[in-house]
Structure 1
Amino acid sequence: MSASNQHKLWAIANRLSLRQPQRESLEILETVCDLLPLEKDTDTARALAAIRNSFPSVTDFERQFASLCFALATGVGKTRLMGAFIAYLQQAWGIQHFLVLAPNLTIYNKLIADFTPGSPKYVFQGLSDFALQPPEIITGDNYESGRGVRSADLFGENAVHINIFNISKINAEVRGDREPRIKRLSEYIGESYFEYLSKLDDLVLLMDESHRYRGKAGMRAINELKPILGLELTATPQIEAGSKTTDFKNVIYSYPLASALRDGFVKEPAVATRENFRVENYDEAGLETIKLQDGIRIHEHTKVQLDIYARESGRPLVKPFMLVVAKDTGHAGELLKKIEAPDFFEGRYKGRVITVHSNQSGDEKDETVQQLLSVEDPANPTEIVIHVNMLKEGWDVTNLYTIVPLRAANSKTLVEQSIGRGLRLPYGKRTGVADVDRLTIVSHDRFQDIVDHANDPNSVIRTGVVIGRDIPDKPTEAITITPTLEAILGVSQTPAGSENGPAAAAQEPLFKTEPERKVAETTLQVIHREFERLSRSADLQNPEVQKKIVARVLEEMQPVQGQLAGVAEQVDVQAVVSTTTAAYIENTIDIPRITVTPTGDVTVGFKDFDLDCSSVRFPPVARDLLIQRLTDNQRFRIVSGDGVVQEARLEDYIVRGLIDKDDISYDDHAALMYRLAGQLVRHLQSYLSTEEDVRNVLQYHQSELVRLVHTQMNQHYVEKATEYQVAVSKGFQRLSSSSAEVELGKVALNFRQPVEERLLIRGMVFTGFGKCLYPASKFDSDSERRFSIVLEDDVDVVKWLKPPKDLLKIQYADEDNYNPDFIVETADGRYLCEIKRATEVDSTVVQKKAKAAIQWCERASTVSDRPWKYVILPHDVIQHNRTFASLVQSA
């Protein structure tokens, strides 16, 4: 392996932003290229021996040429990996000819789009070589023009030729005495295009969903192409024939779904049921109805949560849909009638359901396929897809969130067959919001079976959700709650009672005319953009500041003033600015935006700690299983035969894995790594009888054990600097609107009204406040509602709010921000308040958040006109007769 080729590999991996399994696959291809002679008619027996020396999992190429399978889970990115393979082989080895095979028309069209420059998912995006000279794309629809032949190449001899064909074009059986078109003589090249391809001395074959090319016709046709190398990609490296499953023998790299779930590359599947559900109380029809109804409830809840996430994050809105798995085509038709009936959720889904099955043909099939392919488009009305085993590979949607399987299957098969199409993440990675990152399978009758199966380490489902507890069982909607200030000024974008949520307490707005309101809104925008850098909001009333604000407002309002010229009603801009500023100060809390920058000498590392090994009880495994496991993960080192390279010290199995981590330096952290590895080894020795068993566990479970140690090291990560510079980018901030999910049509409750159904409080909205900076608020518990009564009744409390997301940006972990429950202002101080169950106050996460919040308060106090303090209040100390000061003192 030359340094030049390795540099090219790294450049490709970085520019294409390859994920770790994609990068590892590319590194394996690099090794394969060093091991094999990339030429035609290679001695496959000798080539296999060379590969097996380094990759014992490959026991047979299973074709008449060297062919290797990369088994990557659905949603990890097989098409991008194909692009990386092509780019590397072209740049490092000068290979110019590639044939990409698709198993069906859907994937065929998708591959053409993804390999075409300018498309949204262009696989070579970021690679300069392909930008300067784009690849020539030859397809099953244009090859007869001769554009795939070098002499006819209009783009020069250096352009990469990528042939994309549906397998049906290649392996079509002879009908009568006629060959498939691709094998017929072409007048442009003097031979068939198939023959032309087979004579190329650098043809590399890439097989998407390669488990679909194992039939006799497909195998024979592919062998006749005589490529120098075959690269297979699939998420299911096995052939199924009836009840028999045969694994591929040429898998060189495996990244299963369990790993993709662990690393966060796909949605988190969960199974759902009803609270206290008893399946024996329902006949088949009744069970089907309740599963459909609950599927709709989950779908509607998910739709609201996606709406809220889009509003709060500013990212595009995702339109979810629900998939129903029918028994047969007749059943699919019955389901369609049931779901579109007037008595099923008031007929809301009429015209929003499509069925997909093999009996469709002609215009009906074309229309269904078009709706299916555009189901991610918000303009597509489809919300429910009913299918009968028709949704195979290639239907790569990201907005499938709910699956209702109504076809009988055992728990394992039900899960594996159902979730494949719904795993892709709409935003490319997980958001941290459970409902946005979750795929839910409704399975009341098999819930316990699936949950029991989840205890299997290889299960892809780890969680269950309960309708009525985790997911509302009544229709909900998303509302937006705007700050009270906007209602006071009369500048709310949407009138009360609409989707903007509850209105502020009834009062006359300060500005009654549209021109005045326009000036007031412009004033707020000017303050937000240009004057929040002042140390406190009170400084906005400084005469010099007022002059600057008025000038900026006049500058921005010039077109409007021009429109008002000659109209009797003129706007006193200075007066409106002054009134708006006073209202702004009255209806905000000065919450600074703080950034902390280390200065001087900065060192990073890990605090010394003892490893928690209490969860580790791995048993030793059989020898043949050990070898198979090691070949699944190419980070392990394997020698020929069945021998496993043994580390000199047991601790080295862990240390070798740790030093591959980007955030660990061997020179700086060797002592800690060996100490922790030693603790782990001693723990294994405490329950395993022999050193051979300890070594066995360290080898087989190396990745899990390394991850255990690395995770705990990250929990003790520290960054030290000689000093820190605290910078305040803003002395105060304009409050933003917040979004919430509420029961559809539910009237807001007065916050003083006792709540009987306390478990449902998260779905309620409360109003009636006098000191809150929002006209309405949601609470996560009844303790929070009672705390709001204390704040409203305490004469020392001036104002308070439940902070919207990302207002404070208190970072307590690598990428996690903490948002306290309340911000409170009194005459002599400001407070961040957290309400917690008494049993949770001392938990690790709560205390970690507390530490970060205390540091934030210390820094905020240095730049504010009054001190900040953080308090955690146990839920059982909050009573109506308590004062805020007494609660703070008792914290």
Structure 2
Amino acid sequence: MALPIALDQGLIDSIATEFQLRDPNKRALRELIYHLTGDFDPLEPMVMHMATGAGKTYLMAALIEYLSRFGVKNVMVVVPPSTVLENKTVQNFTQGSRRYVDGFSSAPQVVSPGNYGAWRAGQSELFRNAADGPMVYVFNVSQLIEPKKVNARAGTEEGMRRKIRDHQEESGSLYDYLVNLDDLVVIADESHLFGTSAKAFNQALKDLRPAATIGLTASASDTDHVVFHYPLYSAIEDGYVKSPMLVYRENGYPKDSAEERQLLDAVSLLRNKEAAYEAYGKANTGEAKRTKPLLFVVCESVAHAGDVTKILQGPGYFGDPEAVLQFDNKHNDAITLRRLDELDSPASTVRAIVSVDRLKEGWDTKRVAVMCALRAMSSDILTQQTMGRGLRLPFGARTGVAELDQLDILSHKSFKSLLKDEDVLRSFGLGDAAPGAVSGKDVEESFRQDEGQVQPNPDDPSPETQRGSSSGSTAWPTTSSGEATDGPSDIGTTAGETTQVTGGNTGGVSFRRVGDNETMQRADYIPATEIRVNEQFAGKTFLFPSTVMAKSTTPFLLSHIDDEDIIRAARRVADSKEALTREEIVVRKSKLDTKRTTDAEVESAPVAEDAVINELTQRVFGLGVVTQDTKNTVTFAQYVLPTFMANAGIDHWTEKAKQSAVDELVALVNEKSRQHASSLQTETTIVPVELPIDEVVTLPFGKEVLQQLSKDQQAKFKPREFYDGWNRGLFPAASFDSWGGEYLLALLLNYTSDIVWWKRLYSTDGASIMYTTRDTYYPDFVAQDFDGTMWIIEGKSDKGRDDETVQAKRAAARVLVRELLGEEDFVGQKWSYVIAYESDIRASESWEDLKRKSNPGS
């Protein structure tokens, strides 16, 4: 069978925009609609196998909206037996809730165990057609299982099962209503828990006799009917979730104090995150989504969780009972649930959650930054769902800062045991984080290929740990490459040394090895990265000729109107007569009618001369082109009006003559105002800006200096990152927006023998050129050649050759360099300007080559 809907790509695109769907969710929606319009078994779930954190809730909402547009308005969202997940789902579809998924054309009406009001209102004749939005029924699967008792106490599990089936006098039985619907679509959230092995849950879904069943899960099985798959490694690669970082001690933890030591490490990792979040917040003062990181500890049992909670609340750890929240079967009261629900509130005091797998599904806080499993997980699915709690990005998108974009997962195993593991990621429930299995040998090889970087010890000032550039797998701005040696124990450094090795990305997951006696907490998190001017250019400054462009602001005055123009306008004033329409009354077939006959001309109504003067005055100053100040008012009264009235040739003013006079004088003033505006000259003022502003530049938070790339390494280029190795640059490191127009140009400037020095220009330098009275642009470089000429240089795509804006910038710069000849601050200097197009840059082997190809202006 098929649902009564159609595959409408335009509608899919529209809904994707309204719900701000990510690309994989948009593709998933289309694939799901495609299958729903074909033949399918309504009792077999169509499974959407999607990575945790990829946006399944938004896909669910978009699907409900799509179905509603075709009149399929009854959707049941079935969740696992979880108060947290049930409450969250209700909030997702309840308008006004802070978790509401916005984008619906009409807000859904939500029916849940705690609120049957929307359904009861829908059964009333008075409200039957009142709601245009979809009806969304949210129940956990346990409440749908057929009750075993006829009478059950309210509030109990059996009581909830009975409630949905009980007949209500005004509305009937909700369960019977649902079963008899023709268009009930069931969405099974976390559908891996509803498989054939969970017989009662599986049967509960089938008993609803739905028109279609859809499953959403991050953990599909081989027997599931999967219609769309978006794996974790794709979500990591696309930047929609955090990248996991597995953290190991060299030899694991000693048996006599394993948990205490592991918890101390977890708290240290959290403090690193807290420092990073705080620093990011200060560097991004406009960040509206300010948040704090959270530690998530998974325990073996309720008793175990209680012991761990006491440890974390004590001295040496958090030292605060309010900082640690325990959530398990015996700690799930209303206060605990409220604190859990308010985790994302800035007022939350919780820094750590201690649980026993109670939060493995549906918990969507973005705060989890460190995870610590104090026991081996019992199954792959359990582990994957648990790890999924920490994959959501804290600021909604990648920041480029590793400590913010990574999830630290602290292992209780040793690094040495990792190297013996045949499937490292699967043991952490991260098997989907790579296209294939990753063994310990793969991790070892990852280090060995120099994908990793040796992290400098903040307390070690030696040059070996303070120089070089860093890898993208760490947020430290300055690192140096580590040589890999033979033997698993010798990767990077030997155990116990104060050096941390961060492995390369093996399928989207990174690995970090920490010496047994090394602290995990960094003493000075992310020290400010400073770039100092190259030694040979210390003290070097120059003036850049910034420009400000404006039109003359001389106002238009009535005195600018010549008296001859006033006289000519006055002589065009005419006093024509009014036309009076005449119609003759005639009889047509015993009926009276009228017939147009010759119009008669009559005199226009007389008007006093003062009325004409008042009208002219109001209309002229009402144009908005003349300021009604004392000067213009006197000029109008004593010059314009007398001249105009004296030459109008009207002895007795009429309405017709008055209107003619208004038209002529208004036209004259408007024309003279336009002529004045077009005669105003554009004035360019040169404002010298001394550069560089400072000999030390502090990089933005999280930015690091990367090694210089050769001209054949375009694939490794990252826009707006800093690259070093510029010996002719005033500074040894610089960032670039493009490869062909800027980075390759910098290589040419740096290695040609014709250039003495060059500087990359940034908007913060204030080196700008106005090319219209409203538009400003910032050139890319300034350089001095061996002839002493100062060059303003702009790198552009070849498309710029025919681009009007690019050519307007070029024209303004050429005018500027000519005007500098007589500018006092630039006397004796020679300046020139060049636009370098990408194809010319690639084809040039020297600065002289590029100049010949680029036709510079001076």
TM-score (norm 1): 0.50
Paired residue secondary structure (1:443): strand
Cα deviation 1:358-415 (Å, max 9, x = unaligned): 2336xxx333332222223232221122222322212111111111211134896896
Distance 1:414 1:329 in 2: 17
Match of 2:215 among 228, 232, 237: 232
**Shift of residue 267 of structure 1?**
0.8
Whether contact under 8 Å (2:544, 2:690) holds in the other structure is no
Distance 1:857 1:418, change over 3 A: same
Q: Which amino acid aligns with 1:440?
A: D
Q: Which amino acid aligns with 2:290?
A: L
Distance 2:782 2:223 in 1: 65
Distance 1:265 1:196 in 2: 40
**Shift of residue 119 of structure 1?**
3.5
Is 1:857 aligned to 2:752, yes or no? Answer: no
Distance 1:856 1:122, change over 3 A: farther
Is 1:304 aligned to 2:275, yes or no? Answer: yes
Distance 1:3 1:202 in 2: 15
Quote the residue 1:95 is aligned against.
72
Cα deviation 1:474-499 (Å, max 9, x = unaligned): 4546799899xxxxxxxxxxxxxxxx
Is 1:159 aligned to 2:121, yes or no? Answer: no
Distance 1:336 1:194, change over 3 A: closer
Quote the residue 1:833 is aligned against.
732
Is 1:113 aligned to 2:94, yes or no? Answer: no
Distance 1:307 1:170 in 2: 46
Distance 1:318 1:356, change over 3 A: same
**Shift of residue 866 of structure 1?**
5.9
**Worse-matched range after superposition: 222-231 or 247-256:** 247-256
Paired residue secondary structure (1:237): coil
Q: Which amino acid aligns with 1:138?
A: V
Whether contact under 8 Å (2:32, 2:227) holds in the other structure is no
Quote the residue 2:251 is aligned against.
278
Distance 1:733 1:135 in 2: 61
**Shift of residue 195 of structure 1?**
1.0
What does residue range 469-618 of structure 1 map to in structure 2 within 5 Å? 473-474=520-521, 476=523
Whether contact under 8 Å (1:306, 1:318) holds in the other structure is yes
Is 1:433 aligned to 2:401, yes or no? Answer: yes
Distance 1:219 1:328, change over 3 A: closer
Quote the residue 1:356 is aligned against.
327
Match of 2:180 among 186, 191, 199: 199
**Shift of residue 308 of structure 1?**
1.5
Distance 1:732 1:823 in 2: 23
Match of 1:407 among 365, 375, 390: 375
Q: What runs of 5+ residues in structure 1 fail to find an aligned partner?
A: 37-46, 49-63, 239-246, 484-533, 540-726, 736-771, 774-798, 837-842, 871-891
Distance 1:376 1:296 in 2: 20
**Shift of residue 19 of structure 1?**
1.9
Quote the residue 2:470 is aligned against.
none
**Shift of residue 256 of structure 1?**
2.3
Quote the residue 2:338 is aligned against.
370
Distance 1:444 1:461, change over 3 A: farther
Distance 2:686 2:141 in 1: 59
Whether contact under 8 Å (1:73, 1:255) holds in the other structure is yes
Distance 1:444 1:339, change over 3 A: same
Q: Choose between structure 1 and 2: higher helix proportion.
A: 1
Match of 1:391 among 354, 359, 375: 359
Distance 1:20 1:471, change over 3 A: farther
Quote the residue 1:288 is aligned against.
259
Is 1:68 aligned to 2:71, yes or no? Answer: no
Distance 1:382 1:296 in 2: 13
Quote the residue 1:877 is aligned against.
none
Quote the residue 1:184 is aligned against.
166
Count the aligned residue pairs. 513
Which structure has more RCO (C-alpha within 8 Å, separation ≥ 6)? 1
Whether contact under 8 Å (1:258, 1:458) holds in the other structure is no
Match of 1:257 among 224, 232, 235: 232
Cα deviation 1:724-751 (Å, max 9, x = unaligned): xxx999986999xxxxxxxxxxxxxxxx
Is 1:419 aligned to 2:387, yes or no? Answer: yes
Q: Which amino acid aligns with 1:439?
A: L
What does residue range 136-175 of structure 1 map to in structure 2 within 5 Å? 136-143=109-116, 146-149=120-123, 151-153=125-127, 156=130, 158-171=132-145, 173-175=147-149
Distance 2:685 2:201 in 1: 66
Q: Which amino acid aligns with 2:227?
A: I
Distance 2:301 2:701 in 1: 47
Distance 1:169 1:6, change over 3 A: same
Cα deviation 1:831-850 (Å, max 9, x = unaligned): 131399xxxxxx99x97795
Whether contact under 8 Å (2:47, 2:225) holds in the other structure is yes
Whether contact under 8 Å (1:326, 1:406) holds in the other structure is yes
Distance 1:201 1:412, change over 3 A: closer
Quote the residue 2:200 is aligned against.
217
Quote the residue 2:590 is aligned against.
none
Q: Which amino acid aligns with 1:256?
A: P
Quote the residue 1:10 is aligned against.
13
Quote the residue 1:322 is aligned against.
295
Quote the residue 2:771 is aligned against.
none
Paired residue secondary structure (1:217): helix
Quote the residue 1:503 is aligned against.
none
Quote the residue 1:22 is aligned against.
25
Q: Percent identity?
A: 26
Whether contact under 8 Å (2:46, 2:215) holds in the other structure is yes
Whether contact under 8 Å (2:299, 2:355) holds in the other structure is yes
**Shift of residue 472 of structure 1?**
6.5
Distance 1:11 1:367, change over 3 A: same
**Shift of residue 421 of structure 1?**
1.1
Q: Which amino acid aligns with 2:243?
A: E
CA RMSD in angstroms comes to 4.7
Cα deviation 1:594-641 (Å, max 9, x = unaligned): xxxxxxxxxxxxxxxxxxxxxxxxxxxxxxxxxxxxxxxxxxxxxxxx
Quote the residue 1:266 is aligned against.
241
Distance 1:182 1:76 in 2: 33
**Shift of residue 868 of structure 1?**
8.7
Q: Which amino acid aligns with 1:319?
A: K
Cα deviation 1:59-112 (Å, max 9, x = unaligned): xxxxx7353111111101111111111112222x32122222222221221112
**Worse-matched range after superposition: 855-864 or 298-307:** 855-864
Distance 1:2 1:169 in 2: 30
Cα deviation 1:15-69 (Å, max 9, x = unaligned): 3222232122211122223313xxxxxxxxxx45xxxxxxxxxxxxxxx735311
Distance 1:848 1:287, change over 3 A: farther
Cα deviation 1:141-195 (Å, max 9, x = unaligned): 2226612437353662643222222333322523145671111111113x31111
Distance 1:69 1:295 in 2: 36
**Shift of residue 216 of structure 1?**
3.2
Whether contact under 8 Å (1:71, 1:233) holds in the other structure is yes
**Shift of residue 326 of structure 1?**
2.0
Quote the residue 1:463 is aligned against.
510
Paired residue secondary structure (1:163): strand
**Shift of residue 434 of structure 1?**
0.9
**Shift of residue 299 of structure 1?**
0.8
**Shift of residue 416 of structure 1?**
3.2
Whether contact under 8 Å (1:327, 1:407) holds in the other structure is yes
Distance 1:252 1:809 in 2: 44
